[in-house]
Structure 1
Amino acid sequence: MTTAPNYSAAPTRGALMWKQARAMFFAGPVTSLATVVMILIVLMAIFAPLIAPHDPIRLNPAMRLKPASDEFLLGTDAYGRDLFSRIIYGARISLAVGVGAAILSVLIGLGIGLVSGFFRGLDAVLMRIVDGLMAIPSILLAIAIVALSGATLGTVLLAIVIPEVPRVVRLVRSVVLSAREEPYVEAAISVGTPTWKILTRHLLPNTIPPLIVQGTYICAAAILTEAILSFLGAGINPETPTWGNIMAEGRVYFIINPGIILWPGLVLSLAILSVNLVGDSVRDALDPRMAKRGIDR
């Protein structure tokens, strides 16, 4: 007598996705710690008004350069502002720039890369433009854009996105050039399948895994670039609490209160390191060759 299969015991799609995500972000102790740190920084940015004990932009000259105390956990800066509160609010700008730059770079680069890889006639023109942009140092290009357009959040975001788009374009183009030679794509072309269907149904899915990994690296690079621009005075308005602005204002008073630079620098380093480690874990999970090696992150 044949027993009917128990379909109820089969894992659902949601359960499989959760299992894969758990394996991706908790692949090893280092990756697990990086994931926890990243989550804590995100929560810190979201709930900044509830966590910060003081107004991050309120000037209090009578309390300038105070050491750490019960009232001011990390001390105050040269204008009497609470350093702890400013670091917490600084996470908002850094994460907004990082996530925004990653999303915009991937979307713009994906569109250009698909067109460049599929249409051979446009490929030469588009890639020469991309090569020209990549020849310019990204930080110098960002400074030039901010200097010409003004230091606003939108301008800083644009200045970070433009140098990152060419890298995404080259990545997508390489994937499309390889997938375009596959039999199923050639068959779709031969039977007259509309171009937009070939791009979206046959070529686009091949680009998703590498783009997810590239997006994490762009996010980390964008956070660092924003801090560099702010530190150099070419970033967001100095009154806005960002990690780069805090360190820029505190470099003159480093001998008096080293924490003005050390604390925001430490949080900045942890944010970038955690995003990069999570990106490495995503790469390993999406690359079967890395999974076979059993590399513990």
Structure 2
Amino acid sequence: MSTQVAPTSGSPSRMAQLRQVFFSSPIVAFASLMLLLIVLAAIFAPWVSPYDPTRLAPATRLKPPSELNWLGTDAFGRDLFSRVVYGARISLVVGVGAAVAAVLLGLAVGLIAGFFRALDAILMRVVDGLMAIPNILLAIAIVALSGASLWTVLIAITIPEVPRVVRLVRSVVLSAREEPYVEAAMAAGSSTWRILTRHLLPNTVAPLIVQGTYICASAILIEAILSFLGAGISPETPTWGNIMAEGRIYFQINPGIIFWPGLVLSVTILSINLVGDAVRDALDPRMAKRGIDR
């Protein structure tokens, strides 16, 4: 005879906690709105942008903002607003792609390292070796060996982020595997796959969501740095880093070439971090007990 435990009516659901956090803080609400606008602009870039971002117009080079060119033009006469909007596409693809790939790879390795003691020492030494190499240097080395492309940059940014996810998942699994319900499942003869997916995996969801937002912001910044240094995506592709790299020579003539993509880049990263903090507060049980007073 099975018994069912009714949900406690006094504890708010996760979605209710998220809504409370997002709408109770004006800063978080504004960051969410800005992030939504940037995402929508990237998705609907062909309809938002007034011009082709690669169209050359030497006669209108380095023009200040006007009714025809809202943010002015660059050294080749290309519309700066259109290039910034299309640059959001690359940045968001790299950010989201790196976050998803790093979380999935780190989750698999972290579960194995935390549950199987025999493999823990070997896997963690490899992880420690990767973490000893600075992210930028490792990414530049991978791009230099493989050539500049979107996929290469995505891989180069993902690899340095995986060890951080592995250590996070491993720490959660090491703590959760000592809980009575996990020990009871082991004693009952549950399969390893069932213990990992049914009992240990749910404990990693909340921290991984938060970690994923930070990885997304970090990946966007690293992609811009790589492009600015000339080690990222090819210069003809509009990215925020490429736009700023091309405009540094003409900064005194038209500072907007660096200012506008830099501003959008900063707003995007700040918004993602603020949203990540809000998600962390909503998913943290200790914050839920306090009523999430913000």
Task: Supply the RMSD in Å over aligned alpha carbons.
Answer: 1.6
Structure 1 SS opposite 2:24: coil
Following TM superposition, by how much is the alpha carbon of 1:69 offset from its aligned partner in structure 2, in angstroms?
1.0
Deviations 1:86-131 (A, max 9, x none): 0000000000100001000000000000000000000000000000
Structure 2 SS opposite 1:101: helix
Following TM superposition, by how much is the alpha carbon of 1:18 offset from its aligned partner in structure 2, in angstroms?
4.8
For residue 87 of structure 2, what is the amino acid of its counterpart? Answer: G
Matched residues in 2 for 1:209 and 1:18: separation?
A: 13
For residue 250 of structure 1, what is the amino acid of its counterpart? Answer: G
Matched residues in 1 for 2:115 and 2:292: separation?
A: 35
Cα gap change, 1:222/1:295 in structure 2, threshold over 3 Å: closer, same or farther? Answer: farther
- Greater Cα offset, 283-292 or 139-148: 283-292
Following TM superposition, by how much is the alpha carbon of 1:139 offset from its aligned partner in structure 2, in angstroms?
0.6
User: Which of residues 89, 108, 112 in structure 2 aligns to 1:92?
Assistant: 89
Following TM superposition, by how much is the alpha carbon of 1:62 offset from its aligned partner in structure 2, in angstroms?
1.4
For residue 138 of structure 2, what is the amino acid of its counterpart? Answer: L
Structure-to-structure mapping, 1:122-161, within 5 angstroms: 122-161=119-158
Decide whether the 8 Å contact of 2:14 with 2:283 is kept in 1. Answer: no
User: Which of residues 71, 74, 77 in structure 1 aligns to 2:71?
Assistant: 74
Structure-to-structure mapping, 1:55-66, within 5 angstroms: 55-66=52-63
Matched residues in 2 for 1:62 and 1:142: separation?
A: 38
The reply on whether 1:32 has 2:22 as its aligned counterpart is no
Matched residues in 1 for 2:60 and 2:26: separation?
A: 42
Following TM superposition, by how much is the alpha carbon of 1:74 offset from its aligned partner in structure 2, in angstroms?
0.7
Matched residues in 2 for 1:274 and 1:82: separation?
A: 26
Q: When the two structures are superposed, what TM-score results if normalisation uses the length of structure 2?
A: 0.94
Matched residues in 2 for 1:261 and 1:145: separation?
A: 27
Following TM superposition, by how much is the alpha carbon of 1:23 offset from its aligned partner in structure 2, in angstroms?
2.0
Decide whether the 8 Å contact of 1:37 with 1:274 is kept in 2. Answer: yes
Equivalent in the alignment of 1:6:
none
Following TM superposition, by how much is the alpha carbon of 1:290 offset from its aligned partner in structure 2, in angstroms?
3.0
- Greater Cα offset, 16-25 or 95-104: 16-25
Matched residues in 1 for 2:48 and 2:106: separation?
A: 37
Deviations 1:53-86 (A, max 9, x none): 0000111111111111111111100111000000
Structure-to-structure mapping, 1:1-297, within 5 angstroms: 18-291=15-288, 292=290, 294-296=292-294
* Structure 2 gaps, min length 5: 1-8
Matched residues in 2 for 1:278 and 1:163: separation?
A: 23
Deviations 1:235-270 (A, max 9, x none): 001000100000000000000000000000000000
Identity of aligned residues (%): 73
> In the comparison of the two structures, how many residue pairs are matched?
284
Following TM superposition, by how much is the alpha carbon of 1:24 offset from its aligned partner in structure 2, in angstroms?
3.6
Deviations 1:40-65 (A, max 9, x none): 00011011100100000111111111
Decide whether the 8 Å contact of 1:27 with 1:281 is kept in 2. Answer: no
Matched residues in 2 for 1:282 and 1:27: separation?
A: 13
Q: When the two structures are superposed, what TM-score results if normalisation uses the length of structure 1?
A: 0.93
Equivalent in the alignment of 1:8:
none
- Greater Cα offset, 20-29 or 260-269: 20-29
For residue 228 of structure 2, what is the amino acid of its counterpart? Answer: F
Cα gap change, 1:132/1:295 in structure 2, threshold over 3 Å: closer, same or farther? Answer: farther
* Structure 1 gaps, min length 5: 1-10
Decide whether the 8 Å contact of 1:26 with 1:35 is kept in 2. Answer: no
Structure 2 SS opposite 1:253: coil
Structure 2 SS opposite 1:19: helix
Cα gap change, 1:16/1:294 in structure 2, threshold over 3 Å: closer, same or farther? Answer: closer
Decide whether the 8 Å contact of 1:153 with 1:236 is kept in 2. Answer: yes
Deviations 1:8-51 (A, max 9, x none): xxx9xxx9565343224323011011000010000110111001
Decide whether the 8 Å contact of 1:112 with 1:169 is kept in 2. Answer: yes
